[in-house]
């Protein structure tokens, strides 16, 4: 079973790439983030035509998540149970479902903007709510994973230059502590290091030739419980999909399971 996560940075802008990627990779379940569309704009018909259905949580702004599956979608939960609001709204940053033998979440963790900003406190509260909501599944016997854009680099090895990020979000001790607390529920980082590349980044800014220079970050993560991690037979970052005109600024992260 092939499972992947991809911050697609607008599902409508990248629809041809999405459809081609699904067909060429044989992915069974894809967790999408930053869909940037309304519920009505999501391309259900186009995905259905190639054998996929989707569970979507979107409001048309810069957020939005989805689970795209060709192995079923059951017990769908839209949103983060107990999640905090920002400016009076619970943003569309989480969706979960049972897809065949596994339970999956697609999450788009808040960016945080800058240290001391209300969005930074919101980010930490959101991660705490995610930990609380996922604890039961994480400790269970069914393969379970939370995939998505976490907007946190877990270690200094996950950024191209620690000095460049000094004093910025994504690398602070409270953010990394929140990830450690999430792992403490029984989850582990399923994508090992090193992969094909010494530093398997998943995100590169569009500016300053960041991708050709490999000035990236590893912030798209797959955190799975013990049954999920034991079933994982391979994992990779699809850097090829980050290349070319019209690419997202994130690359897909793929995990193969023997289930």
Q: In 84-224, which residue ranges form alpha helices assigned H by DSSP?
A: 118-138, 173-183
The structure tokens listed for 43 are 């391309």
Is 151 annotated as ligand-binding? yes
Is 249 annotated as ligand-binding? yes
Residues 6+ apart with CB under 8 A from 162: 156, 171
Catalytic residue among 52, 120, 137, 250: 250
Is 250 annotated as ligand-binding? yes
CB 60 within 8 A of CB 37: yes
Residues 6+ apart with CB under 8 A from 215: 160, 161, 164, 204, 205, 208, 209
How far is residue 259 CA from its own chain's centroid? Answer: 21
Is 238 annotated as ligand-binding? no
Is 44 annotated as ligand-binding? no
The C-alpha angle with vertex 9 and arms to 7 and 11, in degrees rounded to 5, equals 95
Is 149 one of the catalytic residues? yes
Catalytic residue among 52, 120, 122, 149: 149
CB 78 within 8 A of CB 90: no
Catalytic residue among 52, 108, 120, 201: 108
Is 226 annotated as ligand-binding? no
Strand 220-224 to 65-69 pairing = unpaired
Q: Please enumerate, by residue number, every residue annotated as part of a binding site.
A: 7, 34, 149, 151, 249-250
Q: Please enumerate, by residue number, every residue annotated as part of a binding site for Mg(2+).
A: 7, 34, 149, 151, 249-250
Catalytically active residues, by annotation: 108, 149, 250
């Amino acid at each position: 079973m092939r499972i992947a996560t991809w911050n697609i940075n607008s599902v409508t802008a990248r629809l041809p790439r999405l459809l081609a990627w699904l067909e060429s990779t044989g992915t069974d379940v894809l967790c999408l983030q930053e869909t940037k569309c309304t519920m009505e704009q999501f391309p259900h018909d186009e995905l259905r035509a190639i054998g996929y259905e989707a569970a979507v949580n979107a409001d048309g702004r810069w957020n939005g998540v989805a689970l795209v599956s060709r192995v079923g979608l059951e017990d769908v939960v839209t949103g983060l149970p107990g999640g905090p609001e920002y400016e009076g709204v619970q943003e569309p940053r989480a969706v979960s479902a049972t897809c065949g033998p596994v339970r999956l979440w697609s999450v788009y963790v808040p960016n945080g903007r800058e240290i001391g900003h209300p969005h930074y406190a919101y980010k930490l509260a959101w991660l705490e709510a995610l930990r609380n909501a996922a604890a039961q599944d994480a400790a269970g016997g069914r393969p379970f994973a939370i995939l998505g854009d976490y907007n946190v680099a877990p270690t200094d090895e996950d950024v191209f230059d620690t000095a460049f990020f000094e004093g910025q979000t994504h690398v602070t001790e409270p953010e990394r502590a929140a990830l450690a607390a999430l792992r403490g529920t029984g989850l582990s980082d399923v994508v090992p290091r090193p992969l094909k590349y010494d530093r398997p980044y998943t995100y590169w800014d569009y500016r300053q030739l960041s991708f050709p220079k490999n000035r990236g970050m590893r912030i798209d993560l797959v955190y799975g419980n013990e049954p999920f991690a034991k079933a994982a037979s391979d994992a990779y970052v699809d850097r090829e999909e980050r290349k070319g005109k019209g690419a997202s600024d994130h690359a897909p992260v793929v995990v193969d399971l023997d289930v």
